[in-house]
């Protein structure tokens, strides 16, 4: 993907979800892309409304009309602010499935979601709607936490040297072309716990130093391969912390406003699942998160 021509963003019409819509509009304007704003009404909830309220068909019709009116008002406001023509869509069904279906229908290059809201996205926890969208989607998913006041300035790209890493760099450059990229590799020490039962502290220290030096060399080579200068690279040692902890720590220390991370990593077992590191970064980080769903061959 060398350019963005179509962006799909979801809104639950809450104030929090407007951050995602605004970021999507900024990206659409910068790329000359078509922006589609979608609001999902859960079909089972509408069925319950029709069943439990007298004259339920009329009540359902009123709810749908109200949703369309509110969505139109948000689209008009967003379009005026960013000088965009915005396509509006009210979807009825399972929100995750409907968003994936619409993304395929319009051949969206990017899906943009909020991470907090009043129903469609409420909170960022493992298993949340936002995470389920990223898990299901075959397209990149940008999860917006912060209000968009400017283009992304500093982007953290965790690299594990898997086929997902180069695609993450390409996506970061596309979404944040003017940002400084910070590459990092979270060093893991396999079997360190077991080694402590049979090896001395000095042997373990050498193991750690060797692993860190090897990772630094590979990171330098990878950075050169994708055309980054060495002063844009960062590396962190293990300190017995899980990779997601190291990524979140570097996000804060490097003052990054976006993390671009692959959907899976080297240890993926199931293509339909998000990798555990990605899930935890989504849950625990404070920057926006862009999940890359493509890998290089």
Q: Which helix (H) or strand (E) holds 223?
A: helix 201-225
Q: How far is CA 108 from the centre of its chain?
A: 15
Q: What would you measure as the largest C-alpha separation in the chain, in angstroms?
A: 77
Same domain for 136 and 85: yes
Q: Does residue 105 lie in a domain region? A: yes
Overall average pLDDT of the 18-33 stretch: 94
Tell me which residue of 177, 150, 149 sits closest to 260, measured CA to CA.
177
Overall average pLDDT of the 208-223 stretch: 84
Residue where a domain terminates, one of 77, 110, 144:
144
Exposure string for 34-51, b = 16+ CB within 10 A, e = fewer: bbbbbbbbbeeebeeebe
Q: Does residue 169 lie in a domain region? A: yes
What pTM does this model have? 0.84
Q: What is the pLDDT of residue 118?
A: 45
Beta bridge partners of 290: 142, 260
Residue where a domain terminates, one of 123, 144, 165:
144
Share of the chain above pLDDT 70, in %: 76
Tokens standing for residue 111:
């899906």
Same domain for 287 and 201: yes
Q: How far is CA 129 from the centre of its chain?
A: 12
Q: Does residue 231 lie in a domain region? A: yes
Highest mean pLDDT among 19-28, 65-74, 93-102: 19-28
Overall average pLDDT of the 253-258 stretch: 93
Q: Could you give the number of structural domains in the chain?
A: 2
Q: Does residue 165 lie in a domain region? A: yes
List the single range of 2-11, 198-207, 214-223, 245-254 with lowest mean pLDDT.
Answer: 198-207
Segment 227-249, tens digit of pLDDT: 776 556 666 655 667 888 889 99
Q: What is the pLDDT of residue 120?
A: 41
**In this model, does residue 55 exceed pLDDT 70?**
no
Residue 117 near residue 16, CB atoms below 8 Å = yes
What are the angstrom distances between the C-alpha of 183 and each of 18, 93, 138, 166, 294?
30, 40, 24, 11, 18
Average pLDDT, the chain: 80
Sign, CA dihedral 59-60-65-71, equals: positive
Q: Does residue 149 lie in a domain region? A: no
Higher pLDDT, 89 or 220: 89
Q: Does residue 106 lie in a domain region? A: yes
List the alpha helices (DSSP H) in the chain. 17-31, 43-52, 56-82, 95-105, 129-136, 163-175, 192-195, 201-225, 243-253, 276-284
Q: Does residue 92 lie in a domain region? A: yes
Same domain for 201 and 117: no
Q: What is the pLDDT of residue 272?
A: 43
Q: In which domain, by residue range, is 95 found?
A: 6-144
Q: Phi/psi at 87 (nearest 5 deg)?
A: -85, 135
Same domain for 197 and 75: no
List the single range of 37-46, 247-256, 269-278 with lowest mean pLDDT.
Answer: 269-278
Same domain for 288 and 251: yes
**In this model, does residue 111 exceed pLDDT 80?**
yes
Residue where a domain terminates, one of 125, 144, 163:
144
Segment 127-181, tens digit of pLDDT: 466 777 877 788 899 999 888 889 999 999 998 887 778 889 999 999 998 898 9
Tokens standing for residue 110:
């990017």
Segment 263-287, tens digit of pLDDT: 765 544 434 456 678 888 888 889 9
Residue 93 near residue 39, CB atoms below 8 Å = no
Query: For residue 201, what is the domain's CATH number?
Result: 3.40.50.620
Same domain for 168 and 132: no
Q: Does residue 1 lie in a domain region? A: no
The 10 Å Cβ neighbour count of residue 115 is 25
The 10 Å Cβ neighbour count of residue 8 is 29
Burial of 202 from C-beta contacts in 10 A (0-12 / 13-18 / 19+)? exposed
Q: What is the pLDDT of residue 296?
A: 52
Beta bridge partners of 258: 155, 288
Cα separation of 240 and 135, whole Å? 28
Overall average pLDDT of the 187-196 stretch: 67
Same domain for 200 and 107: no
Same domain for 209 and 280: yes
List the single range of 63-77, 107-121, 197-211, 267-281 with lowest mean pLDDT.
Answer: 267-281
């Amino acid at each position: 993907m060398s350019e963005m021509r179509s962006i799909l963003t979801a809104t639950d019409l809450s104030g929090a979800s407007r951050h995602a819509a605004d970021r999507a509009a900024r990206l659409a304007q910068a790329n000359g892309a078509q922006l589609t704003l979608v609001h999902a009404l859960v079909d089972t909830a509408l069925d319950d409304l029709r069943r439990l309220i007298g004259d339920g068909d009329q009540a359902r019709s009123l709810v749908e009309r109200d949703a369309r009116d509110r969505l139109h008002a948000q689209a008009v406001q967003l379009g005026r602010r960013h000088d965009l023509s915005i396509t509006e869509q009210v979807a009825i069904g399972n929100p995750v499935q409907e968003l994936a279906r619409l993304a395929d229908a319009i051949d969206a290059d990017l899906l943009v979601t909020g991470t907090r809201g009043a129903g469609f996205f409420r909170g960022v926890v493992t298993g949340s709607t936002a995470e389920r969208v990223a898990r299901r989607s075959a397209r990149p998913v940008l999860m917006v936490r912060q209000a968009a006041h400017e283009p992304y300035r500093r982007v953290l790209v965790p690299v594990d040297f898997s086929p997902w890493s180069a695609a993450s760099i390409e996506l970061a450059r596309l979404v944040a072309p003017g940002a400084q990229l910070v590459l990092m590799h979270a060093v893991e020490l396999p079997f360190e716990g077991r080694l402590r039962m049979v090896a001395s502290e000095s042997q373990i220290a050498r193991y750690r130093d060797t692993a860190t030096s090897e990772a630094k060399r590979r990171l330098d080579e990878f950075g050169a391969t994708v055309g980054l200068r060495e002063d844009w690279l960062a590396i962190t040692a293990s300190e017995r912390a899980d990779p997601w902890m190291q990524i979140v720590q570097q996000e804060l220390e490097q003052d990054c406003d976006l993390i671009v991370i692959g959907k899976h990593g080297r240890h993926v077992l199931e293509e339909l699942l998000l990798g555990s590191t990605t899930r935890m970064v989504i849950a625990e980080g404070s920057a926006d998160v862009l999940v890359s769903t493509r890998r290089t061959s």
